[in-house]
Structure 1
Amino acid sequence: MSFELFSNLVAAFLTLCIFSFLYKENPFYRMAEQLLVGVSLGYTLVFTYERIFIPYVWQPIILKHNFVLILPCLMGILYLFRFSRKLGWLSRYPIAFSMIGIGFGVPMGIHAGILVQMRQAMVPLENINLILILLGTIAVLLYFFFSKAHTGAYGKFVGLGKWYMMIGFGASFGLTVMARISLLIGRIQFLVIDVFGLMK
């Protein structure tokens, strides 16, 4: 038995174990689920050691003597005390530090995002698509302007913004469903073509 055939059989078995959840939760599904979690954790640990610890901790601090990086390393290590009952309070310091950083950084990011969207909306209205985008942008923004009642002509225009949002949400949901169906088709093709060889 070749290694490719063996790996295909193992992958097919685990795929069928996952698909068995469609009937009901069973030991085969739980085994495949826990195996996925364990393999993912092992891969993450190795990846973290090779791609993060070595280039960003070991080489700069130990080999290049850049001791300023010890402070962020210690802050990162304090996160691990979250799993201790007695020393769990130490994990609050890096969390508070990062929350302060996020508290300052996120509004700046939102501000930059708003400016980018405004710049993208300020284009010459050369075709019907650009006109529809401008109308949709204004209507959606006015939909969240609650100081004026949504009545009359203003209410109808704001209702257009609601339709724009529903179309956007529907497109996002459709994209998510299509991505999941694409994964399902890929697994079925693997089983039918690569494992069982029904279609060549």
Structure 2
Amino acid sequence: MSQHDTTHVPGTTGGGLIGWVVGLLVLVAGMVVAGFMLDAGQVWVVPETQSYRMLEQVDQIDIWVPEDSPQAKSLDAQGVPLVQSVVRTLEPESLELAGGDKTITSTTKVMSSHFVGALVTDDWQKADASGLFEAAPSGWKVTDQISEWETVTQLPPGSVDRPANAVMSWNRTIGVWLAAILTLCIMSFLIGDNPFYKTAEALVIGASAAYWMVYSFYTGIVDKLLVNLWPGLVRGWTTPGLADDWEWKWIYIIPLILSIMLVCRLLPKGGWIARWPLAFIIGATAGFRLLAHLESDFLLQIKGTIKPLWAVDTADAFMFWPSISAIVILLSVLACLVYFFFSMEHKGFVGKTARGGILVLMVTFGAAFGLTVMGRITLLTERFDFLFKDWLHLL
């Protein structure tokens, strides 16, 4: 390869390195000036301490409920003493609590649990703006447990009239500056490939991959699989709010086995095992997507084409533009179908109709491309809005 055919990597030559260093110094100097003169990126918040106190309500209960009912599990979890469990006939006054969605008559005999004792219900009462509490509602007792939370209210960017207790949030300010710097690094690709762009690109791809890996693991493995196989483990690990009566489901052993088989692809001689779950995933996904695409891309297209050419409203009055729209859609569809009909030579009337179909296709593709471009321009304007409003406070 001759010297003229050699392509240098940006920033590897001496002159290129000096240029990037100078550019970096100019960028840093500009950011420092923006930070001091425009208060760029500063985020101010107003902290507020919110107080809560616990209220208790104690009810003495004496109730019979079915042994395996949600009511029995709830009472046991709340610490109500269980006196005995016997087979008995439920009384009419206990039907509402014990029956649930089942029909229980006074002659039905079930294994019942007898709970007798104090049922304690707690709730939190919020203090007002001055930090004072209102009187406790009737039947509720005030406890000594008080919890305080510190909340912050973010002020609009570039606010001049700040309250006396407003403070600058350093973590949010640093976040705004990092977002602005990475945005400028990505935009630097307009002047060519450079180390700043490569660094920002690597950060975006790495952070996105890590985020979606954790998100997929939690929503797929934990929230779908483990919660149905080992609910007790998940309740004490990631989902403390899981219902106490949540029971494991044996049917989820099947996806567990398929998942293990899928990981076998990493084995030196066990790659063939992963083909079975992979085939199942592809087949099931294709089946589900087929129905969705059949509805959206086929049936709805036909439904949009088969419309009355003479459109009328509820009063049987003729509507001009809906009728014109239906006629244009019908003629456009027929022209496109003629263009893709190759059993006849495209000459004469058929050829002119096919050329009309080409025109319709070009308009459709142009509109789709324009929609894509407008979507990208929307993202660009959002970035400019962030730079000039949230960072530089010029808007």
Q: Same fold (TM over 0.5)?
A: yes
Per-residue CA distance 1:92-129 (angstroms, 9 max, x = gap): 22233334445656665555442332222211113111
Per-residue CA distance 1:175-199 (angstroms, 9 max, x = gap): 11111111111112211222122x2
Cα distance in 1 for partners of 2:282, 2:215 equals: 26
Q: Cα–Cα, structure 1 residues 58 and 3, in superposed 2: closer, same or farther, change >3 Å?
A: same
- In terms of fraction of residues, the more strand-rich structure is 2
Cα distance in 2 for partners of 1:31, 1:80 equals: 32
The equivalent of 1:168 in structure 2 is 364
Cα distance in 1 for partners of 2:222, 2:178 equals: 33
Conserved 8 A contact 2:188-2:197: yes
Q: Cα–Cα, structure 1 residues 168 and 85, in superposed 2: closer, same or farther, change >3 Å?
A: farther
Cα distance in 1 for partners of 2:348, 2:211 equals: 60
1:97 to 266, 280, 286: 280
Per-residue CA distance 1:24-53 (angstroms, 9 max, x = gap): 222222221111122112211332233222
Per-residue CA distance 1:3-38 (angstroms, 9 max, x = gap): 332211110111111112222222222221111122
The equivalent of 1:61 in structure 2 is 229
Secondary structure of residue in 2 paired with 1:115? helix
- Structure number with greater CO (CA < 8 Å, separation at least 6) is 2
Cα drift, residue 146 of structure 1? 1.6
Moved more, 38-47 or 130-139: 38-47
The equivalent of 1:124 in structure 2 is 308
User: Where does the alignment leave 5 or more consecutive residues of structure 1 unmatched?
Assistant: none
Q: Report which of the two structures shows the higher radius of gyration computed on alpha carbons.
A: 2
Cα distance in 1 for partners of 2:228, 2:200 equals: 40
2:254 to 56, 68, 71: 71
How many residue pairs were aligned?
A: 199
2:298 to 111, 114, 120: 114
Conserved 8 A contact 2:338-2:350: no
Q: Cα–Cα, structure 1 residues 188 and 103, in superposed 2: closer, same or farther, change >3 Å?
A: closer
- In terms of fraction of residues, the more helix-rich structure is 1
Cα distance in 1 for partners of 2:333, 2:210 equals: 46
Cα distance in 2 for partners of 1:187, 1:102 equals: 36
Per-residue CA distance 1:35-78 (angstroms, 9 max, x = gap): 11221122113322332222210122223332222222332444
Per-residue CA distance 1:129-179 (angstroms, 9 max, x = gap): 111011111211222122121111011112111111110000011111111
Q: Cα–Cα, structure 1 residues 54 and 102, in superposed 2: closer, same or farther, change >3 Å?
A: closer
Cα distance in 1 for partners of 2:203, 2:356 equals: 49
1:9 to 168, 171, 177: 177
Q: Name the TM-score, length of structure 2 as normaliser.
A: 0.46
Q: Cα–Cα, structure 1 residues 5 and 49, in superposed 2: closer, same or farther, change >3 Å?
A: same
Q: Cα–Cα, structure 1 residues 80 and 172, in superposed 2: closer, same or farther, change >3 Å?
A: farther
Question: What is the RMSD computed on CA atoms of the aligned residues?
Answer: 2.3
Q: Name the TM-score, length of structure 1 as normaliser.
A: 0.86
